[in-house]
Structure 1
Amino acid sequence: MWKDIPVPFYLSVHFFEVLNPKQVLRGEKPVLSQRGPYVYREYRVKTNITFHDNDTVSYLEYRQLFFQPHLSNGTEDEYIVVPNIMLMGAAVMVEKLPDLWKLLLSGALAGLKQEAFMNRTVGEIMWGYEDPLIDAINAIVPGLLPFKGKFGLFMDFNNSDSGLFTVNTGMNNISQVHMVDSWNGLKEVDYWRSSQCNMINGTAGEMWPPFMSPTSLQFYSPDACRSMTLVYEESGQFQGVPTFRFVAPKTLFANGTDYPPNEGFCPCMQSGIQNVSTCRLNAPMFISHPHFYNADPSLVDAVEGLHPSKEQHGLFLDVHPMTGIPMNCSIKLQLNLYIKHVSGIIQTGQIKPVVLPLLWFAESGSIEGSVLKQFYTNLVLLPSVLEYLQYILLGLSVPLLVSAALLMARRKRGAAQKSPRAPARATPSSETTP
């Protein structure tokens, strides 16, 4: 199961379309409409599997995504109005540069007919589109963008690996099985400002050590550039299999003011969003729960069209505690872009500073079919049968023991009755004549 995970995973992507781009440029509140989901079947394949002498194993896990029209609400050819991510991101990134650089960039943008918002297809936004703006930015501000050619939000997500994981096999200590030893050769990352935030904790997010306690679990997410801790919420069942449900605590994306241990993830803004610019090419990107669930209400109020709810936007993991294997899961994250008016970049108009949701996605999967049946039979049904059987055998043993005791008592009594009596001893009589 570790090598070839027998669980069908799906990636569901929801885009936020900006309905009033012209008004936003004049400083008005963005009005958003959720589009999708656009659903992809996700296949994961482990390669380069190498076992080491110190009870660890390293591997690369490749992901491939295939669009599922029958599960989607729309096609990849649909057009959506979203922020011009390259333009708006570059504008904030060059805000502190000399005015001359910003004027040159603004002039280049005008010559390329670049605007603050763009109308592109779902496929282009996901998997990349050719944009002369990339070459222009690289020419004017060398080193600002570490890539050339196409740009797409999920370009690095498909047909690629998530880094070289080295995890413990649990050979000598089962409580350490699946726990990450290193990622890309690193014991900790260097994205954040504190050693605690840079730590690589937990597993790779696929399985956990067995015999779990109802407390918390951790996993390292390369997509979020950090380790995440989920907390126990409740016990339940999935298709008859007992599970522990783990969910995200409210402190997961809290800022350093509300939750001091998160100070290392700053510079922070409101609670509920995490600045990931340091691991996303220094672009002003933030991650959060979908629809700013569990976030500062001001983030929801800054735009129209968001309706956060636990049922739709809360992430969860249902794990079988005896084996540490997830039975049902849905990991959800939202990608946001910080946009604002930047002096010298005329394309930014009078946009008021706002953390604008771009999209949110869910990676979901659940054990089903023959694997679920085998799981239920071996780990639920048979142990239950054996447990009942021991009581049945115990119940049967009581009359057997009683019968055996009665038989032994009867044999002893019969033996006593059959044994010969001793002859009476003669006593001298006073009437006997000597």
Structure 2
Amino acid sequence: MINIPSSIRTIIGLVLSSVEKPIMQRTVKEYLWGYEDPILNILKKQLPQLVSNDQVSVFASVVNEAQYETILINNGVGFDINHTERIDNVGKIERFNFSTNLSIWSNKYANMINGTDSTIWHPDARKDELIYTFMNDICRSVYLKFNQTRQNSFDISTYQYTLPNDVFANSSDNEGFCLNSSTSDNIQQLKCLPSGLFSLSSCIHLSGSTFAIPLPIIASNPHFLATDRSVQDAIIGLMPDEMLHRSYIDIEPMTGIVMNGSRRMQFNLNVINDSKISGVSHVKSLVYPMIWVNEHAEIDKPNADIFHKKVFRPLTVLSVFKYTFLAFGIVLLITVIALVTIYQYKKNLTVVVVESEPTVDETTPLISE
């Protein structure tokens, strides 16, 4: 829960009860890109020095910030300071906004910037490695594990990597993503969400205010796939499906080029029962689904044809030449061996000459004159 002073929560409750209902109907466009909020509209008029924007959205602030972001990407040329070939680091994000790490999470591991932007990986991908990608819109790095080998419709063999349950699990490996929370004694402690949930309140803020106001947004897999049972049971109508709701990416292993992929994520509202806010004092605390998004991309036929022409065809030609030269070499070797053998045989050959006595027939005189 976001730490808000009791007096502020009381004021919010009074305003909420008079101008706004806790449950509103909004279009998908409004959810994603913004709508005018009645409370913020009042604050904008009464306290313009604090609030200059009355729009609330999931993505608008992220998109607005993206235009000012800078990303330094390794081009894979030469060697790094450890004398490692940089081709293994091609596409790797070296710096985000001029920094090698983030500073919003509670430990250095959670703040690490790992992997690429998910558009390319190093050549010679392996089945036993973890594929890391940095997702700046949720302010963290994630990893994918090998799932299976696939053949796409353009006859290109790929390795499929999927987002495992471990990434959003409530575990010691993820404690760096737990948020600071105050107890009734005003003691700071880390509060971790159930498995399958990931808080974005440290990442997504209300735009247009003089200080950062975090939004109570929680990310998860669509339909709460692989989420703690208690979270799923609070919502009616969920139909989680591994094929439809699991994020994945298909990589051509030799080149590291992405052939197909889907990033699927659900954005939820963290609804908290709070006696100080009259509008939600009788509302059950739960994680309420708002919308889920499927960002999908795959190679098309023209580009698949180019890939075959530029990559597979030269390899086929090289393979033909390789075996042709191998066969020619074998024939040449056999010929040389045969010629040497014949030469040695002739060189060592011994000619035997046999002298025979003249033949005497019946008509030859016994004593010649």
Q: Same fold (TM over 0.5)?
A: yes
Q: Measure the CA separation in 1 of the matches of 2:275 and 2:341.
A: 105
Q: Measure the CA separation in 1 of the matches of 2:52 and 2:192.
A: 27
Q: Measure the CA separation in 2 of the matches of 1:147 and 1:190.
A: 26
Partner of 1:254: 169
| Match of residue 109, structure 1, among 5, 16, 23 | 16
Which of the pair is proportionally richer in strand? Answer: 1
Partner of 1:234: 148
TM-score, normalization by structure 1? 0.67
1:306 counterpart = 2:220: no
**1:347-362 map, 5 Å:** 347-362=279-294
Partner of 1:184: 97
The letter for the 2-side match of 1:296 is D
Distance 1:102 1:416, change over 3 A: closer
Q: Measure the CA separation in 1 of the matches of 2:6 and 2:48.
A: 15
Partner of 2:28: 122
Distance 1:98 1:397, change over 3 A: closer
Partner of 1:291: 223
Partner of 2:138: 224
Distance 1:264 1:225, change over 3 A: same
Q: Measure the CA separation in 1 of the matches of 2:110 and 2:265.
A: 19
Unaligned 5+ runs, structure 2: 79-85, 179-190, 206-213, 356-369
| Match of residue 196, structure 2, among 254, 268, 272 | 272
Partner of 2:123: 210
Q: Measure the CA separation in 2 of the matches of 1:156 and 1:103.
A: 27
* Contact 1:240–1:376 (8 Å) recurs in 2: no
Over the matched positions of the two proteins, sequence identity in percent amounts to: 28
* Contact 1:247–1:314 (8 Å) recurs in 2: yes
| SS at structure 2 position matched to 1:169 | coil
Q: Measure the CA separation in 1 of the matches of 2:263 and 2:242.
A: 13
| Shift in Å, 1:300 | 1.1
* Contact 1:341–1:351 (8 Å) recurs in 2: yes
Distance 1:294 1:235, change over 3 A: same
* Contact 1:244–1:320 (8 Å) recurs in 2: yes
Partner of 2:252: 320
Q: Measure the CA separation in 2 of the matches of 1:235 and 1:162.
A: 39
1:149 counterpart = 2:50: no
| SS at structure 2 position matched to 1:390 | helix
**1:366-405 map, 5 Å:** 366-395=298-327, 397-405=329-337
Q: Measure the CA separation in 1 of the matches of 2:233 and 2:267.
A: 17
Q: Measure the CA separation in 2 of the matches of 1:123 and 1:169.
A: 37
| Shift in Å, 1:228 | 0.7
* Contact 1:125–1:153 (8 Å) recurs in 2: yes
* Contact 2:62–2:204 (8 Å) recurs in 1: no
| Shift in Å, 1:117 | 1.2
The letter for the 1-side match of 2:140 is R
| Match of residue 272, structure 2, among 337, 340, 344 | 340
Partner of 1:132: 38
| SS at structure 1 position matched to 2:26 | strand
* Contact 2:114–2:133 (8 Å) recurs in 1: yes
Q: Measure the CA separation in 2 of the matches of 1:265 and 1:253.
A: 9
Distance 1:140 1:201, change over 3 A: farther
Post-superposition CA distance 1:210-269 (Å, at most 9, x none): 2222211111111111011111122223322222111112110011xxx21101111212
| Shift in Å, 1:192 | 0.7
Q: Measure the CA separation in 1 of the matches of 2:261 and 2:136.
A: 18
**1:52-67 map, 5 Å:** none
**CA RMSD, aligned part only?**
2.9
| Shift in Å, 1:161 | 3.3
Q: Measure the CA separation in 2 of the matches of 1:162 and 1:319.
A: 30
1:174 counterpart = 2:87: yes
| SS at structure 2 position matched to 1:278 | coil
Task: Count how many residue pairs are aligned between Structure 1 and Structure 2.
Answer: 325
| SS at structure 2 position matched to 1:119 | coil
| Match of residue 108, structure 2, among 178, 190, 195 | 195
Structure with the greater alpha carbon radius of gyration: 2
Is the deviation greater in 225-234 or in 374-383?
A: 374-383
| Shift in Å, 1:93 | 4.4
Higher RCO (C-alpha under 8 Å, 6+ residues apart): 1
